Every structure is written in structure tokens, then in C-alpha cells.
A and B are shown apart, each in its own frame.
Chain A
């Protein structure tokens, strides 16, 4: 039987009502993973700072790699374990750096993860944050050379097979931070985080993911449950290391076990965020695209105006029903109270 393969996309930094906070789309991923043989999704969905939930049939694929996968340029090769190299931004203060090294040590000792020795960048990465006209968060990196040199050292000298990066982020505008912590704003760091991991994946074609280093925040009694996972401890690193430990490798030639874009049966995406490269690519396949309306975002890109055929559903619960029917080979129309009668097609061409 052909494995039923689903891709779940919730872009980062666009204020998604579900998945725009601290790993708050993880319950969606867990439910979808129960409804398919293989779930392909990305760090924004699975990362919950110190919280995570290993899903045996989930593939943790960074966004740049997911775009290449959707285009058919890269395949996904599952692994039993990756040796993870850790990059620490030189701008991280000594105490906070030590916290991150200890988090990595904890993941080795308690979870059995395989890490190489770590590298501190030869200069501060100089992350700058920005909010765009659309309301999305973006960012730029001042010292991309330092980032890429650190990754090269880990790959060549320590034989790292995946890269975790911890960058020091500038203090965030207090109003934006407050809104995020209260569960009603855009993650101000997310766009820059994606840029950091995209740079590594594009350059070295290996799995990568990022965790920000931040000074501890004062207690907030109004903290939203959706943001709470990021206020448990000193670092966001554990979920990244867990995800990377079994992230699939990227391959450019088909192998016996690799997964390619034409094997994807369904893609689930917020209805207002259909303007990403991956969705445009998947729309060229036979893939069922399910657009979820109640996961609202700052984007204004519905599928129809850009020529994407999709099925719209109100919620992820409804999307789960579609997946079950699709996997079982049941026509969606057959599940409705009334069914249009068959018509006789003209055989005149």
C-alpha cells in the first residue's frame, strides 16, 4: 500500500492564530500524524522551546529545504540519528552561553542525542529585526560569513550532519513583545530565525534549525498559554536538538527510501497564507491542498486569486476528516447530505 504522506505548513513570523506562538501547532501536528503514514512539517510547527513531542512518522524539514523538496529538486532521506553540531553566537553573554552548553549536555545525557563539539562564531552575528508593511517579521544577519564559517568547521572538522544555531537577538520592542506574550501579536524574532537557518541549509544542504538566546523576561501573570512554553527555562534549544537528531537528510538523486514531492498526497496550509514558494510548487502536482480558514494570519493570499485549486475547511478538525476520507479513497461528495446526479457527457469532441 502506498504510504499516505501529508505536508503541514504554517509559515513562521506571520502571526498565525495557530502556530504563530511557542510551538502551539504541535497538537495539530500530533493529530495529523495519527491520520497519515508520513507527516512532513517544519521547525515552526514542532518547536516548543523546552517542550517537544517526538513523532515517529514525522519529518522535521527546515523551510528552505521544504521549498526545494516541493520543487522536486531535493528528496528526503530518513535517518536513525544525526550528529548535531552546535553554533553559538559570539554575542551571547558568558552566563547565557554556559546555559546553552548545559542544555546541550542535558540533551546528550538525558535524551541520548549525539552532538559534536561546539563552535563559537568568530564575530557577533549581528542579527537585526524588522517588521514589514504586511505585518510579518523579517530580519537580516550582519555577519553571514561568521555563521557559514562556523558551520563549515562543524561539518568538515567535527563531521556534523545537522546544525543547530543559537544567535543572540536584540531586545524586542516592548509593545510587540507584550502582544506576543499575550497571544495576540506576531512573533518578532521568527522571520530572522528563518533567515539564519535558510542560509545554512542553502549553503550546505544539511538539516539546520535555530533557537534564539534571550535574556530572561520578568514574570507576566497575563501570559498566554500559547506563549508559555518559551518561559519555562533559560533556553529554547532542546526542541531544536530533538528535531534535528532525526531530521531527514537532503538528497539530489532518488534512492530506495527517499521521499519526493510527487509522493505527497495532501498539503495543509492556512487559507490566508497560500503565497509561499512551497504551496505554489505543490499546486503543480496532483496533491490535495487543504486551506484552513480559522487559522488566520497577517497575510492576504487566498488560493483562488493566484490560481491554486484547494478545498477550504473551517478548522484543522475538519481538515483531519478530509485526510481520513482521502486516505480511505472516499469521495468527499459522498459524505454530504445530498449528491448531484450523474449527467451524460456529450461524446462529440
Chain B
């Protein structure tokens, strides 16, 4: 298993639960999410910036 740092931009969603699901779905494209956080919100473009560590087998 290896650990990797990634950052991603994700569209804002209607509610926090949907946003959480979208973030985890996006991170799962890169590996298994271990730790993540939204670090910035861009209200003009309706996106959030996410930083994360994912693991890969």
C-alpha cells in the first residue's frame, strides 16, 4: 500500500451531505481516501478546493 497526496476542485452542492459524497467519489478515482479537507471555497465559480491523502494497493 502506498500513500499519495492529491488536490482536487469539486463543484459546490446543494447540501453538505451531497458535497461530502461528491468529494469522496472524486477521491476514490485516485485511491482509497484516508484523510481529506476542503481548504477553500470559490463562491464566484461555485467550487471547493480539496486536499487529501489517498492510499493505493
Chain A interface residues (CB < 8 Å from chain B): 11, 14, 63-64, 130, 132-134, 136, 138-141, 144-145, 148, 194-195, 198-199, 202, 273, 275-277, 279-281, 283-284, 298-302, 305-308
Contact = CB atoms under 8 A, between A and B. Distances in A.
24 contacts: A11-B37, A14-B37, A63-B35, A132-B39, A133-B7, A134-B39, A134-B40, A136-B51, A138-B5, A140-B4, A144-B3, A144-B55, A194-B35, A275-B41, A277-B20, A281-B17, A299-B38, A299-B40, A301-B39, A302-B41, A306-B19, A307-B16, A307-B19, A308-B16
A202 B32 CA distance: 11
Interface residues on B, range: 20 to 34
B34 A299 contact: no
Given A144-B2, A195-B35, A198-B34, 6 more contacts: A14-B37, A134-B40, A144-B55, A199-B34, A281-B20, A305-B43
Interface of B: 1-5, 7, 12-17, 19-20, 34-41, 43, 48-51, 53, 55
Contacts of B48: 275, 301, 306
A120 B22 CA distance: 39
Top 9 A-B pairs, shortest CB-CB distance? A275-B38, A134-B39, A140-B3, A280-B20, A305-B41, A280-B16, A300-B40, A283-B16, A144-B1
Contact of A301 (B4, B35, B40, B55): B40
Contacts, number: 102
A306 B38 contact: yes
Contact of B5 (A130, A198, A276): A130
A143 B4 CA distance: 12
Given A138-B51, A138-B53, A275-B37, A306 B2 contact: no
